[in-house]
Amino acid sequence: MRAIFVRYGEGVVKQKSVRALAIVGVVAATLLAAGCSNFPGLGPEPTGAAPTTEGSAVYDGAAASNLSLSPVELSGAPTYAEADRSDVVGLAGGKLLATRPGPERIIGVDAWDTATGELSWDITTYESYQIVLDHGFGRGLLEFAGGAVQRGSADGYVVPIFGNLCGGGTQCMDDPYRAGIAMINPADGAIMWTSDLTDQLGDDISGISMHTTVVDANADSIVVEVEAQLDGGGDATVALVANASDGSVRWTTRDAHLVSVAGDAILGEADGALAAFDAASGDERWRGASGSWIPRQANAQYAAAEDPETDIIDVATGETVSMGRFAVDPVVSDDLVAWVDASGETITFDGSPALPGAETGALTTAVAIDGDYIWTAGDGVLAVDRTGAARSEALPGSFVDARGGAVATVDDDGTVHLFRAG
């Protein structure tokens, strides 16, 4: 199996099941054998002049060095499993972050040092209550389950604030809910800033219920969506773009589902089309053809949209500059977009034609890029490079994150595996 790599922003991507990919591979092989190369009606025609496809050229650049990984045992051997409403979030600031339920089944967070495996800090249920109270939200808590680690070189952990003054016999309409976000320093757990989003949602938003999710974040911008009830009945989803430096809101919209930060643009889906908005003002820059072209991830130059095929979109113009043959899960770093296609080929794109690696491997899925290494998940978690060659031993468990020389996986029973390079 080969993987396709294209320029893209960092981030953890949910992986498809290996079984589903295997089915795709069988279908792909059948269609190719039948001589099918074009499939009308599967989606919009690509824009731009002559987008590149998987050509016969093979990547022949420098290979990455072999990656030597050493296990780091977490003190106390904690487990994090969906059945327990706990989850390993990702890596940031030299810490492995994981959420877990505390009293009243409220989510808290643990931060483990990736060098020593010791618990560096945690925020318990009652500490969460106090943080929210101290920052003027009244009764409430930090919602770690709806947070996101910043992409790129930033190391912040952005989480929603659920502020609810209801309780103690008071009436909700007198003491309504509030929505906000907080930036946490992963290195020490300190609250860097908080931002109240409530007054930015609109005058027709009811104070009864709100649910906030951090959609994407990098060193410059944070994308948030708030689901809320309307005074007149019904629901609304308000998307907000905020400054990563202090959480202040730049602009809001109810007309688009915002998905990814892409340099000085925010990408999303508007009326079924991929659209780009100015990150500072919210002005629409361009809108692509109709179709479910939600970008998987993006960096300042390229976005990767998966439907109907893997299309690499120029963020500046909205034009398709490269195409994969079949739908796959692309991943993006600051330098590449990457994915594994239906035949198992490793392909990379960095502004030049998409090039497959010279070697093929087992059926797998690209899940993240960390520096020179493309992490894949299939029969174990494995790092490959642009040549398609394996550069690490297969690691156990399901992929969680790889960042700064550390990689984390988790077993079905919640056992966490942490490894460091060197």
Residue 103 buriedness (CB in 10 A; 0-12 / 13-18 / 19+)? exposed
pLDDT band for position 104 (cuts 50, 70, 90): low
| Tokens, residue 165 | 């003054």
**pLDDT exceeds 80 at position 8:** no
- For 252, residues 6+ apart whose C-beta sits below 8 A from its C-beta are 200, 201, 202, 238, 239, 240, 241, 282
d(CA 318, CA 348): 20
Looking at per-residue pLDDT, the higher value among 9 and 218 belongs to 218
pLDDT of residue 131: 93
Q: What percent of the chain has pLDDT over 90?
A: 49
- Of 334, 377, 336, nearest to 355 by C-alpha is 336
The per-residue pLDDT for 306 is 67
Separation CA 309–CA 103 (nearest Å): 46
* Long-range Cβ contact pairs of 39-47 (< 8 A, separation 24 or more): 39/308, 42/308, 42/309, 43/291, 43/292, 43/293, 43/307, 43/308, 43/309, 44/288, 44/289, 44/290, 44/291, 44/293, 45/289, 46/311, 46/319, 46/320, 46/323, 47/288, 47/289, 47/318, 47/319, 47/320
Domains of the chain and any CATH numbers: 2-421 (2.130.10.10)
**DSSP string for 320-373:** EEEE-SS----EE-SSEEEEE-TT-EEEEESSS--EEEEEE-SS-EEEEEETTE
Residue owning tokens 């093929």? 360
Question: Tell me: the pLDDT tens digits for 268-298?
Answer: 989 888 899 999 999 999 998 655 456 668 8
In this model, does residue 30 exceed pLDDT 50?
no
Q: Is the pLDDT of residue 357 over 70?
A: yes
In the chain, the percentage of residues whose pLDDT exceeds 70 is 78
Is the preceding peptide bond at 308 cis, omega within 30 degrees of 0?
A: yes
pLDDT value for 16: 32
Query: Whole-number mean pLDDT of the chain?
Result: 81
Residues 118-158 have pLDDT tens digits of 999 999 988 998 999 899 887 888 989 899 999 988 899 99
How confident is the model at residue 346, as a pLDDT?
A: 81
* Per-residue pLDDT tens over the stretch 254-266: 999 999 999 999 9
Poorest-pLDDT segment among 195-204, 226-235, 351-360: 351-360
Q: In the sheet where 406-410 sits, what is the strand order?
A: 69-72, 416-421, 406-410, 398-403
| Residue in this structure with the two tokens 């990563």, named with its chain if needed | 244
> What stretch of H or E contains 94?
none
Task: Give the amino acid at 266.
Answer: I
Mean pLDDT across the stretch 313-323? 88
pLDDT above 60 (res 31): no
Q: What is the DSSP string of 361-420?
A: -SS-EEEEEETTEEEEEESEEEEE-TTS-B-SPPBSSEEEEEETTEEEEE-TT-BEEEEE
Predicted local distance difference test score (pLDDT) of residue 277? 97
**354 pLDDT more than 80:** yes
Say yes or no to pLDDT of 76 above 90: yes
Q: Is 340 exposed, middle or buried (0-12, 13-18, 19+ CB in 10 A)?
A: buried
Using 50, 70 and 90 to split pLDDT, how confident is the model at 325? low
Residue range 39-65, pLDDT digits in tens: 222 233 334 444 554 445 899 899 999
pTM over 0.95: no
- CB burial readout 210-222, b (16+ within 10 A) else e: bebbbbbbbebbb
Looking at residue 153, its pLDDT comes to: 83
pLDDT of residue 308: 58
What are the tens digits of pLDDT across the range 205-262? Answer: 887 778 899 999 999 999 999 998 898 888 999 999 999 999 999 999 999 999 999 9
More confident residue, 1 or 86: 86
Per the model's pLDDT, the better-predicted residue between 295 and 186 turns out to be: 186
pLDDT, position 166: 55
* Residue 335 falls in which region: left (phi positive, over 0), alpha (psi -120 to 50) or beta: alpha
Report the run of H or E that residue 177 belongs to, with start and end. strand 177-184
384 forms beta bridges with 374, 390
Cα gap 308→327, rounded to integer Å = 6
N- to C-terminal Cα separation, the chain: 28
Q: What is the mean pLDDT of residues 327-351?
A: 83
